[in-house]
Amino acid sequence: MAHVMKLGALTEELVTLLTSTTVKSDPTKFSIYRESALRSLRHHNYARTNQFDVTSHLDGLEEKFRVYNEDPLADALRERLDTLERKKIKWGAEVLHLLIELSDKPVSNSSLEALDFLRDSEPNTGPPLQWTDLAADDPLLRDKIWNNVDFGAESSGGEDGFEDTRSESSGTDTTAQSSIEDELNRRLEEYTLDTVDKEGLEMLRQAQFWKQIPNVGGIKLETVKKPITELQAIREVAFMLLGLPTALFEIDKDKVLPSKGYALKHASSDTFHKLLQVFADNGSSVAVLRYWVNRSQSIPLMQTFQNSISERLSALDVLLSIIQQRLVAIEDDVVVSLLRVQGELEFATRALFRLSKIIEQLEQERYPHAFRYLELLYDEACTSQMAGDDPMYAFMGEIFFDCFQVYLRPLRTWMEDGELSAGDNVFFVSETSADIGPPSIWQSRYKIRQTQAGVLHAPRFLRAAANKIFTTGKSVVVLKHLRKITSLQSPNTQEPILDFVTVCDPSRLQLASFPELFDVAFDAWVQSKHHLVSSRLRATLFDSCGLHNSLDAVSSIYFMSNGITAATFTNSIFDKLDILDVSWNDRFTLTELARTTFGSLSSVSPDRFRIHLLNLPRRIKDVAKCRRSVKTLAAVEMKYNLSWPIQIILTPTTMSSYQRVFTFLLQIRRSSHVLSRQRLIDDVLTYTNSSDERALYYFMRHRFIWFTQTLYYYLTSLVIEPDSLKMQEQLRCSEDVDAMIEAHATFVKSIIDKALLGIKLELIHKTIVKILDMSIKLEDAQAANEATNKESTEQQQGMMDLSMVSLGLHTPKKRAPEKPHKVEADSTDDEDEEKEVDVDLSILSSTYENEGNESYVEKLRMMKADFDRLGRFVASGLRGVARAGGGDATRSWDVLGEMLEFGFESGSLGYR
Amino acid sequence: MPTEADLKQDKAANAVQARQVIDLFHEISTLLNADLDRQTLSICVSLIENGVNPEALAVCNLSFDWKKTETVVRELKKDAVETRREIEERDG
C-alpha cells in the first residue's frame, strides 16, 4: 500500500507540474487528471524497456547528428552517455527510454546553447555560503585563537584557562569532515576533574612554616625567631644534606650556614644553633663533593674517582631517606630527635668530610697529576689505620683500590702486550715518537717519564716497582719483535686480585701496616707478569739468539783467546809494518785478512767483520814513523756486528771497552813479536863488537821479553780468564735481562780497570807503552848496529881482498853476499802457508835520521837506564795504588806490581 | 552501529550523487530536445524507480500535455464564442 500511496503522491505532483493545477485550485479537474494519469500509468500494455534498443537508438541518433554535421552535439551526447555508463545507474536505461520517447526532433531543434543555459543556472541552486559553514570546515576559524589571552588569569587554584575551548566547541555542530577534533576536545574535558581542595591548600600553607610570621595576639613580630618543630628541623637537615635548597640553611658560595631566624620551642637557641652549625659543616663538605662530582672529567682515572664519590654520596642519600622514612611512614614508635639523626649520620658525614678535604687539596695544588688523589687516598688509609679507625680505614681503602684498578689498566696492557696507548699522560712509560729500529728498543725507544724535578711520574708507593714494570714491558716488546710471543695471557695463571678485602683482610691482617700489605700485594702482582716474560726472554737470548756464541766470538776476537789465529792476524800486520809496506793500514786488506783468519773460528761469522781504521795524524802518516811506536796500532779497530737482541746485553759502550783491551794486547804482541823475531842461531864473537855490547844487548832483550811476557800473562790469565768465567756464570744464574746486562757491564768495567786502562792508571799505562816503544827501538838499534858492522866488515874484507889481490894472494870467494844471510831473520821454515817474509832489518837503519850519532853501546846503556827507571816507576806506582784503594782491581794491581817489582829488583842486582 | 555523522555523511554523499545524476539526465534530455524541466524529470525518475513503465509515462506526459490542450481548448472556446457572436449579429 505504501507503494501505491507513493505512486499516488508522485502522480499528483506530476499532474500539478504539468497542468499547473493543484488540489486546492481546481479540485475537480485535478482529480480527473489524476485519475486518468493513474489509469494510464497502471494499465498499459507496453513492454519492458529493452536497454539494447535504447543504446542502439542513441547510437543511431548520435550518428545522425554527425551525418547532419552537428558534431558538437554528437560529442556532447556521447560524453553524457559515457558518463552515465560509468555511473551505472540502476534505472538508467528506463530513464533514457523515457527521454527518447519524449524527444522531439533533436536533430533540428536541440542546440548546445541550451546546455550552456543549464550550466549557468546551476550556481543559484546551492544554498548560500554562511560563516558557520566556513567555521565548520576550518578549525582555525572555529577556535577563538585570535582572542587575546588573559595571562594574568593563571593561578594554581583557578580553572579559567580551559573556558575558551569549552565554550567554543559547543557552538559547532556541523556535518563537516573535521568534526573529529570536536570529539577529542569534548573528550578531554570530560577527563578534567574538579579538584579544588580547599583543606589541602590550607594544610600546605600551614606547613610552609617559613612564610608564617609569628604573631602574638594578631600583632606580627618580625624580629622574634620563628618556632619550628623538631620534625620540621630534621626534614630541613635531610633536605640540605641531599643538596636541595632549604629555609633553615643558607648557601654562601660553597659553605652552608645555618640561618638564624628559627628556634626550637623546647631548646635554647644557642644549643640549637650549635647543632645546626655541625650540620652545616657537614653540609658544606657534602656540597663540595656534589659540586665536584658534577664536573666533567676527561681522564678515566678522575672519572673513577668521581664515580666512587658519587657512589658514597648515593649511599648517604639512601641513609637519609631511610631516616626520613622511619619518621614519615611510621611503623613502630619513634622518637623524633635531631641528635639521634646526627648520630646516625656521623660516620658517613665524617668520611665524606675527609673526602672533601682531599678534593680541596687537589684543587689547591697547581697542576696536580691525575694520580695525586691516589697518593692522598693512600695516605689517608695509612693514617686512619694507624689511628685505629677501622671503619674509616676500610672506607678509604675501598675507594683507593677501586680507583687503583683503573690505574692498573695501562700497566697491565704494557706488561702483557708491550703496548702503550697514545696520549696517555698518566702512565709513567712513554714512547719516543721517532721511528727507532730494533737495536735501540731496549735503550732508547721507551722512556720512563719524569717530572721536571727528576722525580718519577708515578705515585709514591709505586716507585720501587717501576723499573721492574718498565723492563717487563720492554721484554715483551723485544719478544714480539723476535716473534717469540703472541700473547702473554696464559689460561692457567691468573693475576692476583688487588682488592681491599684480599689485600688487607681485616680479620687476619689487621695488625699489618697498610704500606707493607700493599707493597707485598703489588709486588706479587708485578711478579706474576714479570717472571714469565723475563724467563722467556732469557731463554730466547741464550738459545735462539746464540748469546754464548756471540760471547765466544767476541772474546776470541777482542781478547785473542785463540792464539794461533790471533798470531796469524797480528804477525802479518807487523811484518807489513816492518818492511815498510804502505798498505799496512789499508782497510780492505785488513778486513780481508781478519775475515780469513778469525773467520775460521766456529763461533765467528766472517760476514760480521769490519775493520775500521782511524785517521792518523799527518805527522806520523809516514809508515816508517808509524812502525816506530806501538801507539799507532791503536788506529786499528775491529768492529764485529752483533745481532740486535744480543746488543741489548753487549751494549755498544762495552764494545768500545773491548776495543781498548784489544789495542793494548795488540801493542804488547807487537813488541814481543819484534823482540822474538830474531832467532839467534849463533852469534860469533867478531872483532867488531865487544862483549860489552852484546852482553848488554842480550841482557836488555831478555829483560824486555820478560817484561812483555809478564804483562801478557797478567792480562790474559790473571785478568781476562777468571773474569770471563765469572761473567758466564753470572749470566747463567741471572733471573732476568737486567741482571744479565748488569753482569756484563760489571765484567767489562772490571776488565778495564784491571787491565790498567782505567782513568786512575792512565800514567802507568802510558809508561808501559813507552817501554814497549823502547823495545822496538832496541831492536832497531841492534839491527842498525848489525848493519853497520856488516858494512864495516865488508869494507874491511874488501880492503883485505884488495890487499890480498895487490899482494898477489889467492882471493877467496866473496862471502859478502852470504853474510847477510846469517843475520837475517830465519822465520821462514815454520809457517807453511805464510808467505816468506824476509825482513831485512838493515834497511831500517836509514830511518833514524834524527838520532844522534852515538855509539851503539851508549844507546844501549841509555836504554837500560830508561828501562829501569820506567819499570820501577810502573811497579811502585802499581803497588802504591793498590795500597791506596780498595776493590777488586787493586788486588790484581798488587799482583802485577809485585811481579814487576821482583823482576826489577832482581835485575838491578844483575848487570850494572 | 553507524554513527550519526556517518549517516549524515552518507546522505550528503548520496545527495550529491543524485544531483549529479539528475544534472546528467537533464543535459541529455536537453540534447534530445525532450522539453523537460528539472522538477518534472526528477519526478519522472522517481516514478520510474518505483516501477512505472517509461513508455506509459511518456505517453502520459505527452498526452497529458494539458497546458497545450488547455490553450487549444481556450482558443477554441474563444473562437466558438466569437463565432456565436458573429452568428447572433448576422441573425439579429
pLDDT for res A656: 86
Question: Average pLDDT, stretch A549-567?
Answer: 82
On chain B, the residues whose CB falls within 8 A of the CB of A8 are none
A169 pLDDT higher than 50: no
On chain B, the residues whose CB falls within 8 A of the CB of A83 are 24
State the nearest Cα–Cα gap between A167 and chain B, in angstroms.
21
Cross-chain Cβ contact A106/B32 below 8 Å: yes
The model's confidence at residue A823, banded by pLDDT at 50, 70 and 90, is very low
Q: Give Cα A371 distance to the centre of its chain.
A: 16
Chain A interface disruption, residue of B20, B23, B53, most A CBs within 10 A? B53
3-state DSSP assignment of residue A686: coil
Q: What is d(CA B45, CA B62) in angstroms, rounded to the nearest whole number?
A: 16
Q: What is d(CA A477, CA A884) in angstroms, rounded to the nearest whole number?
A: 46
A308 in Cβ contact with A405 (< 8 Å): no
Mapped to the 3 state alphabet, what secondary structure does A617-647 carry? CHHHCCHHHHCCCHHHHHHEEEEECCCHHHH
State the nearest Cα–Cα gap between A77 and chain B, in angstroms.
7
pLDDT for res A837: 39
pLDDT for res A318: 93
Residue whose cell numbers read 573529529: A180
On chain A, the residues whose CB falls within 8 A of the CB of B66 are 18-19, 21, 33
Using left for φ > 0, alpha for ψ between -120 and 50, and beta otherwise, residue A129 falls in beta
A45 pLDDT higher than 90: no
DSSP string, A387-406: TT-HHHHHHHHHHHHHHHHH
A162 pLDDT higher than 50: no
Choose among A7, A49, A84: nearest Cβ to B54.
A49
On chain A, the residues whose CB falls within 8 A of the CB of B49 are 90-91
Reported as a single tens digit per residue, the pLDDT across A783-806 is 777 777 788 878 888 888 888 877
The model's confidence at residue A86, banded by pLDDT at 50, 70 and 90, is confident
Closest CA to A584 of A546, A549, A550, A622: A622
B10 pLDDT higher than 60: yes
Q: What is d(CA A542, CA A546) in angstroms, rounded to the nearest whole number?
A: 5
Which CA distances in Å does A267 have to A239, A246, A338, A638?
22, 21, 11, 97
Closest CA to A423 of A467, A468, A370, A472: A370
Contacts 24+ apart (CB under 8 A), A771-774: A771/A704, A771/A707, A771/A867, A771/A870, A771/A871, A771/A874, A772/A630, A772/A667, A772/A668, A772/A670, A772/A671, A772/A708, A773/A628, A773/A629, A773/A630, A773/A631, A773/A671, A774/A704, A774/A863, A774/A866, A774/A867, A774/A870
pLDDT for res A171: 45
pLDDT for res A172: 46
Q: Is the dihedral of CA A876, A881, A882, A883 positive or negative?
A: positive
Chain B interface disruption, residue of A94, A122, A180, most B CBs within 10 A? A94
On chain B, the residues whose CB falls within 8 A of the CB of A18 are 40, 61, 64-67
pLDDT for res A738: 76
Q: What is d(CA A229, CA A216) in angstroms, rounded to the nearest whole number?
A: 18
The interface predicted TM-score (ipTM) is: 0.74
Cross-chain Cβ contact B55/A44 below 8 Å: yes
Q: Which residue of A lies nearest to B11 if distances are taken between CA atoms? A: A175
State the nearest Cα–Cα gap between A332 and chain B, in angstroms.
59
Q: What is d(CA A657, CA A283) in angstroms, rounded to the nearest whole number?
A: 69
Residues near A126 by beta carbon (within 8 Å), at least 6 away in sequence: none
Residues near A180 by beta carbon (within 8 Å), at least 6 away in sequence: none
Size of interface A-B (CB pairs under 8 A): 155
Q: What is d(CA A652, CA A641) in angstroms, rounded to the nearest whole number?
A: 10
Cross-chain Cβ contact A115/B57 below 8 Å: no
Cross-chain Cβ contact A98/B50 below 8 Å: no
On chain B, the residues whose CB falls within 8 A of the CB of A80 are 24, 27-28, 31
Say how many residues make up chain A. Answer: 912
Choose among B23, B46, B62: nearest Cβ to A102.
B62
Residues near A13 by beta carbon (within 8 Å), at least 6 away in sequence: B43
| A18-22, A385-389, A435-439 — most confident range | A385-389
A141 in Cβ contact with A135 (< 8 Å): yes
Question: Average pLDDT, stretch A271-282?
Answer: 88
Q: What is d(CA A21, CA A28) in angstroms, rounded to the nearest whole number?
A: 10
Mean residue pLDDT across chain A: 76
Q: Which of residues 33-52 of A touch B (CB under 8 A)?
A: 33, 36-37, 40-41, 44, 46-49
A89 in Cβ contact with A95 (< 8 Å): yes
State the nearest Cα–Cα gap between B72 and chain A, in angstroms.
13
Helices B4-31, B38-49: axis angle to 10 degrees equals 110
pLDDT for res A183: 63
Reported as a single tens digit per residue, the pLDDT across A724-748 is 899 888 888 877 777 888 888 899 9
What radius of gyration do chain A's Cα atoms show?
Answer: 61
Chain A interface disruption, residue of B10, B31, B45, B71, most A CBs within 10 A? B31
Cross-chain Cβ contact A40/B60 below 8 Å: yes
Reported as a single tens digit per residue, the pLDDT across A339-367 is 888 888 888 888 888 888 888 888 888 77
Q: Is A545 exposed, middle or buried (0-12, 13-18, 19+ CB in 10 A)?
A: buried
Q: Which of residues 65-104 of A touch B (CB under 8 A)?
A: 73, 76-77, 80-81, 83-84, 87, 89-91, 94-104
Chain B interface disruption, residue of A95, A100, A137, A180, most B CBs within 10 A? A95
Question: Average pLDDT, stretch A107-121?
Answer: 64
Reported as a single tens digit per residue, the pLDDT across A629-684 is 777 777 777 777 777 777 777 877 888 888 888 888 888 888 888 888 766 555 55
Closest CA to B42 of A83, A120, A95: A95
Closest CA to A358 of A425, A271, A293: A293
**Higher pLDDT pick, A711 / B70:** A711
pLDDT for res A687: 53
Reported as a single tens digit per residue, the pLDDT across A829-852 is 333 333 333 344 444 544 444 444
pLDDT for res A27: 75
Range with the poorest average pLDDT among A263-267, A294-298, A454-458, B16-20: A454-458
Range with the poorest average pLDDT among A171-180, A195-204, A208-217, B57-66: A171-180
pLDDT for res A56: 92
Cross-chain Cβ contact B32/A110 below 8 Å: yes
Per-residue b or e along A577-590, where b marks 16 or more CB atoms closer than 10 Å to that residue's CB: bbbbbeebbeeebb
Choose among B5, B27, B34: nearest Cβ to A115.
B27
Reported as a single tens digit per residue, the pLDDT across B19-61 is 888 888 888 888 888 878 888 888 888 888 888 888 888 887 7
On chain B, the residues whose CB falls within 8 A of the CB of A89 are 21
The model's confidence at residue A116, banded by pLDDT at 50, 70 and 90, is low
pLDDT for res A458: 76
Reported as a single tens digit per residue, the pLDDT across A383-407 is 888 888 888 888 888 888 888 888 8
pLDDT for res A109: 67
Grid cell of A238 as nine digits = 635531610
Residues near A149 by beta carbon (within 8 Å), at least 6 away in sequence: none
CATH of domain A548-809+820-907: 1.20.120
What one-character DSSP code corresponds to residue A89?
Answer: -
What one-character DSSP code corresponds to residue A213?
Answer: P
Q: Which residue of A lies nearest to B62 if distances are taken between CA atoms? A: A102
Q: Where are the domains of chain A?
A: 2-42, 51-85, 226-365, 408-544, 548-809+820-907
A888 pLDDT higher than 80: no
On chain A, the residues whose CB falls within 8 A of the CB of B33 are 103-106, 109-110
**Higher pLDDT pick, A438 / A228:** A228
Q: What is d(CA A735, CA B78) in angstroms, rounded to the nearest whole number?
A: 152
Say how many residues make up chain B. Answer: 92
The answer, as to whether pTM is greater than 0.80, is: no
Cross-chain Cβ contact A19/B35 below 8 Å: no
The angle at the Cα of A94, spanning A89 to A96, to the nearest 5 degrees, equals 85
Q: Which residues pair with A57 in a beta bridge?
A: none
Range with the poorest average pLDDT among A58-72, A436-450, A762-776: A436-450
What one-character DSSP code corresponds to residue A366?
Answer: S
Spell out the alpha helix ranges (H) of A439-580.
Answer: 463-481, 500-503, 514-543, 547-558, 563-578
pLDDT for res A816: 41
Q: Is the dihedral of CA A457, A463, A468, A469 positive or negative?
A: negative
- Express as a percent the part of chain A with pLDDT over 90: 1
pLDDT for res A371: 77
